[in-house]
């Protein structure tokens, strides 16, 4: 991970240019709050997690391969299905199913010449499905207002940190009406999925 981070930070300004770079930094927790994640079915079992699972391909060309809200006992069957289309277990990312019924805002935001540009949805579904059903747009003051009114102060601080480090990147996020993710105990209601320039 250190080699990838050094490469990303050496760009002026720092940029994440591939899905592989994004996953490495995401899994290392560089983006701040995130969903609980695992790299294998065995890891999930060892963690003691019993809730639903989301599975997605880490391969850039297969990024639309996503399975949501899978019961834990069905995960091996889905690993087998991924294998049949050429995606091995090592190329699958596993994360906890998120409490979509509590979603309040999700989408992608970027900064350009000091203005925020936001593509977002309020539909209570996983992001890909929700944005396909409804994508709204906001910029400038309205974009900033939507974010500040829907995320906790602690999550807002994480947004500021990400844009401080990656000023030209797109930040993909989901905000909920309840604390969520690995930092839920620190009043985070927002998880960050991607920070990218690809």
Domain residue extents for the chain: 2-34+100-196, 38-96
Q: Which residues pair with 122 in a beta bridge?
A: none
Query: What's the chain's average pLDDT?
Result: 94
Q: For residues 131 and 107, is the Cβ–Cβ distance under 8 A?
A: yes
pLDDT band at 61 (very low <50, low <70, confident <90, very high): low
How many helices and strands in the chain, by DSSP H and E?
7, 9
Q: Mean pLDDT lowest for which of 14-18, 20-24, 134-138, 165-169? A: 20-24
Q: Residue 40's pLDDT band (boundaries 50, 70, 90)?
A: very high
What mean pLDDT is predicted for residues 65-76? 94
**By C-alpha distance, which of 40, 18, 37 is closest to 28?**
37
Question: Is 0.85 surpassed by the pTM of this model?
Answer: yes
Cβ atoms within 10 Å, residue 23: 18
- In this structure, are residues 32 and 161 in contact, taking their beta carbons and an 8 Å threshold? yes
Tens of pLDDT, residue by residue over 79-130, are 999 999 999 999 999 999 999 999 999 999 999 988 999 999 999 999 989 9
Residue 60, pLDDT above cutoff 70: no
């Amino acid at each position: 991970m250190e080699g990838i981070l050094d490469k990303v930070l050496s760009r002026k300004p720092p940029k994440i240019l591939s899905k592989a770079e994004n996953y490495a930094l995401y899994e290392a927790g560089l983006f701040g709050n995130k969903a609980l994640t695992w790299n294998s079915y065995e890891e999930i079992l060892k963690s003691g997690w019993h809730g639903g699972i989301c599975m997605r391909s880490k391969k850039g060309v297969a990024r639309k391969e996503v399975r949501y809200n899978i019961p834990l006992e069905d995960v091996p069957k889905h690993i087998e299905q991924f294998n049949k289309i050429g995606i091995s277990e090592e190329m699958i990312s596993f994360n906890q199913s998120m409490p979509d019924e509590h979603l309040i805002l999700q989408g992608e935001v970027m900064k350009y010449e000091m203005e925020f540009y936001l593509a977002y949805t309020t539909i209570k579904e996983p992001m890909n499905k929700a944005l396909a059903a409804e994508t709204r747009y906001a910029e400038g003051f309205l974009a900033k207002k939507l974010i500040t009114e829907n995320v906790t102060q602690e999550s807002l601080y994480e947004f500021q940190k990400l844009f401080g480090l990656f000023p030209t990147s797109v930040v993909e996020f989901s905000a909920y009406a309840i604390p969520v993710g690995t930092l839920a105990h620190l009043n985070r209601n927002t998880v960050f999925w991607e920070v990218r320039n690809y």
